[in-house]
Amino acid sequence: ANGYYWSRWAKCIHSSHDFSDMVFVDNYIFNKDVFIQFNSTVGEFVGYTELGVHNARLFNNNPGQLQSERAEVERYCKHNAKNRQSAIADKT
């Protein structure tokens, strides 16, 4: 109850049927506050605390990590959205 709380929350946001406006947001959370966020619209990590700014700089200077995070729009978001959309469309 008095310990530390760390979590990571990723989400995909879109409003178009063709997913052309798909955005991937990956939040790193410590004690219920976002301290680092990756937003595919921005294309890099942004820190919101002193530690977050430091870690965002490290993440952004790691080409493999940055490339992997940028690819999540296609790999994770659009792939899953297409599967969900077809499952819903088949039921209507």
Per-residue pLDDT of the chain (92 residues; tens, 9 = 90+): 678 999 999 999 999 888 999 999 999 999 999 999 999 999 999 999 999 999 999 999 999 999 999 999 999 999 999 888 877 776 65
pLDDT confidence of residue 75: 94
Residue burial 70-85, b: 16+ Cβ < 10 Å; e: rest:
eebbeeebbeeeeeee
Around Cβ 35, how many Cβ atoms within 10 Å?
Answer: 20
Please give the pLDDT value at position 58: 97
Q: Cβ neighbours of residue 61 under 8 Å, at least 6 residues apart? A: none
CATH pick for 6-89 out of 3.40.190.80, 3.50.30.10, 3.40.50.1980, 3.10.320.10? 3.10.320.10
Amino acid 1: pLDDT: 60
Closest CA to 29 of 49, 10, 6: 6
